[in-house]
Amino acid sequence: MSRVLVIGCGGVASVAIHKICQVSDVFTDLCIASRTVSKCDVLAEELKGNTKTNITTAKVDADNTDEVIALINKFKPDVVLNVALPYQDLTIMDACLACKVPYVDTANYECEDTDNPEWRKVYEERCKRLGFTAYFDYSWQWAYREKYKEAGITGLLGTGFDPGVTSVFTAYAQKHYFDEIHTIDILDCNGGDHGYPFATNFNPEINLREVSAPGSYWEDGHWVEIPPMSIKREYDFEGVGMKDMYLLHHEEIEALAANIPHVKRIRFFMTFGQSYLTHMKCLENVGMLRTDPVEFNGQQIVPIQFLKALLPDPASLGPRTVGKTNIGCIFTGIKDGKERKIYIYNVCDHQECYREVGSQAISYTTGVPAMIGTMLVAKGVWNKPGVFTTDEFDPDPYMDALNKYGLPWKVDENPVLVD
């Protein structure tokens, strides 16, 4: 019997909202709010008649905390799910804090304008102190821990697939399979083909920023940073086959390094085809990935935002994408004095996702865990005042929900390791 406010109505939100509407006994009332309210209205119309959840829509500029506060006061949600962009994380967290409503998201805070001098100063200090240069990190949101604790509300960060499910897999491995986890390799393989020469599977701006940045991994208590795409491995994925994968910086490494005792190394690999990398390098070389405004014909434009307008909308890839994803974590460590290795993973089929909710598997594998995290918070199953990542709660109810709501997982007790 919960009221949920979902902010954002893009690819990931659409799946999360479809799933929320499948769980009407928990989510009795839903408000879909976004910058472009017409998108919310279209989705609401599509779902009405197929769900018992009461759906309303609203227009909100989530960059404006007061607007979010006004909306929360009007709709009175029991939980807010932020599936807008990482740029809005702090404004929405502020609004939830002001109204004492639990907050849930799928990606950690990034500053939209990386030339903003105030943000830049903090960022440069952090680069020096921690040793990685990604534009995103948890420090901004972890700064809300005490405030959320005092307010008695839960802040659940990063409940997508990676981060999100990968951290739940880690908590599950820690609870049921290991006395000590020593290494974690997170593997994100997308074997899908959408038929376009170049398109991104989720928001292009966020995606291209992430993959064009230096890679980094955690080893022996510190970060090791490497040039972009400079560590490449091949791996044979069930359901997909042999793929090239590259080491990237990824946000869950930061949380897992802080929270998993004994861990010696954490790496993140994502698969990319050669054509994707060639397109990206070319766009980068000509300046199209720049995030700072450029003057053009008397107007200020941000190249990466202009590029987004040219690329296919990730939400439109659903009908054309075929193939599977295979995402999971390889753990090595010790159990009862013996060495152990396991791979916990999910295989997801793009076309099956499309048939169920009208989206491809990348939105699906993010939107389903977004709903699950929100549901556990709404039901009070995951209820801890403060701000936490998904590895900091009991993984079992989340793992059960993955099986129930479309992302069944498996454990391979003899996986091939990544060298």
**Near ligand NDP by CB under 6 A: residue from 3, 18, 19, 39:** 39
Nearer to ligand NDP, 154 or 190 (CB): 190
Radius of gyration of the CA atoms of the chain, in A: 20
> Which one among 4, 5, 6, 13 touches ligand NDP, defined by CB under 6 A?
13
**x-or-dash string of contact with ligand NDP, 42-61, rule CB under 6 A:** ------------------xx
Q: Binders of ligand NDP among 341-380, rule CB under 6 A?
A: 366
105's CB contacts (< 8 A; 6+ apart) are 81, 82, 83, 86, 89, 92, 156, 157, 158, 159
174 counts as binding ligand NDP under rule CB under 6 A: no
* Selected range binding ligand NDP among 1-9, 191-199, 218-226, 349-357, rule: CB under 6 A: 1-9
Nearer to ligand NDP, 152 or 408 (CB): 408
With contacts defined by CB under 6 A, how many residues of the chain interact with ligand NDP? 34
Give least dist CB 91 to ligand NDP, A: 8
**Rounded distance, CA 142 to CA 157, Å?**
9
Binds ligand NDP by CB under 6 A, chosen from 77, 102, 155, 164: 164
Residue nearest to ligand NDP (CB): 10
The reply on whether position 396 binds ligand NDP by CB under 6 A is no
Q: Are 71 and 94 in contact (CB under 8 A)?
A: no
Near ligand NDP by CB under 6 A: residue from 2, 4, 5, 10: 10
Which residues, 6+ apart, have CB-to-CB distance to 200 below 8 Å? Answer: 207, 208, 311, 314
Strand segments (E) across 272-335? 294-296, 299-301, 324-335
Q: How far is residue 267's CA from residue 231's CA, in Å, rounded to a whole number?
A: 11
**Does 412 engage in binding with ligand NDP (CB under 6 A)?**
no
Choose between 18 and 341: whose C-beta lies nearer to ligand NDP.
18
Contact status: 93 vs ligand NDP (CB under 6 A): no
Total Cβ atoms within 10 A of residue 170: 27
Amino acid at 335: K
Of 161-169, 218-226, 236-244, 378-386, the window that binds ligand NDP (rule: CB under 6 A) is 161-169
Which CB atom, from 332 or from 359, has the smaller least distance to ligand NDP? Answer: 359
Beta strands in 142-240 (DSSP E): 154-157, 180-190, 215-219, 222-226, 232-237
CB 29 within 8 A of CB 4: yes
Listed in sequence order, the residues at least 6 apart from 98 whose beta carbon sits closer than 8 Å to its beta carbon are: 65, 69
Distance CA 127, CA 23 (A): 42
Contacts of ligand NDP in 309-338 (CB under 6 A): 314-315
Contact segment (CB under 6 A) with ligand NDP among 79-87, 146-154, 384-392, 397-405 equals 79-87
- Residue 252 touching ligand NDP (CB under 6 A): no
98-137: contacts with ligand NDP (CB under 6 A): 106-107
Looking at the chain, how many residues does it have? Answer: 419
Cis peptide before 163 (omega within 30 of 0): yes
**Residues engaged in binding ligand NDP (CB under 6 A):** 7-13, 34-36, 39, 60-63, 83-86, 88, 106-107, 158, 160-164, 202-203, 206, 314-315, 366
